[in-house]
Structure 1
Amino acid sequence: MASSTSSPIVVIVPGAFGTPDGFHKVVPFLNQAGIETHPGPYPSCNPSDPAEATCANDIASLRNNVLFPLLDQQQRDIVILAHSYGGVVGGAAAKGLDIPTRKAQGKTTAVVGLIYVAGNITLENEPLLEAVGGAYPPFIKVDQPSKGLALIAPAMEVLYNDCEASLAPELDKAMKPHALLAFESKPSAPAWADPGFDGRRAYVRTLEDCCNPSSLQDMWLEKSKVKWDVVDFKTGHMPFVSQPEALAAQVVEFINGFMAL
């Protein structure tokens, strides 16, 4: 399936506590390779009302405000690039948007692939908190800076352990409070479980990750019961900060694989 523009657009779905702006180091390398990107934010990051910031609202927001306009109005194929909690949101938002399903509806565009970077893999109705073992790790500071929100501390040690120490002020500033409800509420069924994404699921496993340890990533991949094309990066949780050029090259390789199917 090809749209009027030959290359799919990459929708960047960030992890919790961050925005698509956090990918600013990787975007130029993708652009150089002829890949356009589009932000895929969602409302539970730094929300106006944490009591409303459910996972379901994040999924609906990404689907209705980003994916459908790109697919149906701009007539673009999409690849979702999802980091950490973005895997929960992006995975569910892409449900029913695979090539066979869209083709059967007479549509000419689709989500042609899913790329997870240390992505959280949750089953239908499985909250992220459950998927990480039912308790918050000590670095998630609950009800900070106010009730219903959380922060990660120490951010440099947990998220940026392989990044230049001099970047600390800039990286700390990029971190936003996140609604706890997003992690505790149930997501809808994930798209990656569908046969329409066979051969179109890729996963960057971050081997030195202090936030989502690689053992947890392995558990999620196994639990999914579907095949992912897994590539290992010897990085911490944020390879788009510490290894942007290498990550961009890997994303391009994954996309070329999707397009060759």
Structure 2
Amino acid sequence: MHIDQIIFGTTTNSKPTVIFVTGAWHKPHLYAGLLEGLRKTSFPVIAPCLPSVGGTCDNFDDDVHVVRKAIADEVSQGHEIVMLMHSYGGMVGSAAVQGYSKREVVRGGGVIRMIYMAAFALEVGLSLMDALNNTPLPWWRSANQKQWQAVDSNDIFYNDVNPQLAEACIEQLDLQAKGSFESKQTYAAWKYIDSTYIVCSRDNAIAKEAQIAMAKQPGGRFIIEYLDAGHSPFLSIPHQTVEMVRRTIWEPGTLGIGQDA
């Protein structure tokens, strides 16, 4: 049976709906602790399954489409939305929100905040491959003509995660469509919608310095926060991660959690 998204809680709540966009190689169930944690604090959560994860699509258009549909469905019900994006998900989430910010939606709902959690926040016209100087990273292995496999995942994704939990996650990683990394960004949402960048200071997938550079781009509407964690804080420090996201939504700019000088 095909599942196109996972819903945690209902979307009839007065709190904004969190639409979560996964990273590459990861399907939504690998983030279940984070998504369930947000639900327990009364945030409805929708996590679309990205076709590029396990798929062979030539670009990120299908990913953008499924996320954009989730946004449109919430907007049609008058719901406010917070976009929470991890890693590659920043590319997809940024593109998907075009035309759906709170100020652009005539009635009721709309996107009120973007949260980039160790996520790609790129300028229009740049692809993820462009950001990497068009050089595949050493831990990408070509599985076939259309897909990348992530290797050395324990050190790259889960360097500060409990080893048993990390091993279980590694076994559930899927292949990633190469075309998704070659798609050019179509909308820099972080220029037009209030945004938070959560820098993961011990990240081995996206260097801390690269995260900070994205959060400090000219024209950005970012507040920068820090988690002392690797690329998967939702696994290594789940309670702190949920609390940071929760407070980022309600009290942006007041956290002071793990702030760097």
Q: Is the contact made by 1:209 and 1:235 (CA closer than 8 Å) also made in structure 2?
A: yes
* 2:75 aligns with one of 71, 75, 79: 71
Count, aligned residues: 242
* 1:202 aligns with one of 196, 208, 215: 196
How many angstroms does 1:224 deviate by? 5.0
Q: Which runs of 4+ in 1 moved over 3 A?
A: none
- Distance in 1, Cα, partners of 2:28 & 2:12: 26
Q: Deviations over 1:157-198 (max 9, x none)?
A: 11000001122331112211001110012221222222xx1x
Amino acid paired to 2:40:
Q
Q: Deviations over 1:74-113 (max 9, x none)?
A: 33211111000100100110112111111xxx22110111
Partner of 2:168: 170
How many angstroms does 1:56 deviate by? 2.6
More helix by share: 1
- Distance in 2, Cα, partners of 1:173 & 1:224: 40
Alignment of 1:1-261 (within 5 A): 5-47=13-55, 50=56, 52-64=57-69, 66-72=70-76, 74-102=77-105, 106-141=106-141, 143-144=142-143, 146-194=144-192, 197=193, 200-257=194-251
SS at 1:235 equivalent: coil
Cα distance change, pair 151–244 in 1 and its aligned pair in 2 (3 A):
same
More displaced stretch, 115-124 vs 182-191: 182-191
Amino acid paired to 2:94:
G
Cα distance change, pair 253–173 in 1 and its aligned pair in 2 (3 A):
same
Amino acid paired to 1:221:
A
- Distance in 1, Cα, partners of 2:18 & 2:251: 14
Amino acid paired to 2:34:
V
Uncovered stretches (5+) of structure 2, i.e. residues with no partner: 1-10, 253-261
Q: Is the contact made by 1:88 and 1:121 (CA closer than 8 Å) also made in structure 2?
A: yes
How many angstroms does 1:212 deviate by? 0.4
How many angstroms does 1:6 deviate by? 1.8
Instruction: Select the structure with the greater relative contact order (CA < 8 A; seq sep ≥ 6).
Output: 1
What CA RMSD, in Å, does the superposition of the two structures yield over aligned residues?
1.7
Cα distance change, pair 4–22 in 1 and its aligned pair in 2 (3 A):
closer
Q: Is the contact made by 1:123 and 1:224 (CA closer than 8 Å) also made in structure 2?
A: no
Uncovered stretches (5+) of structure 1, i.e. residues with no partner: none
SS at 2:49 equivalent: coil
Cα distance change, pair 153–4 in 1 and its aligned pair in 2 (3 A):
closer
Cα distance change, pair 224–117 in 1 and its aligned pair in 2 (3 A):
farther
Q: Is the contact made by 1:15 and 1:84 (CA closer than 8 Å) also made in structure 2?
A: yes
SS at 1:99 equivalent: coil
Percent identity, please: 23
Q: Is the contact made by 2:80 and 2:102 (CA closer than 8 Å) also made in structure 1?
A: no
Q: Is the contact made by 1:132 and 1:216 (CA closer than 8 Å) also made in structure 2?
A: no
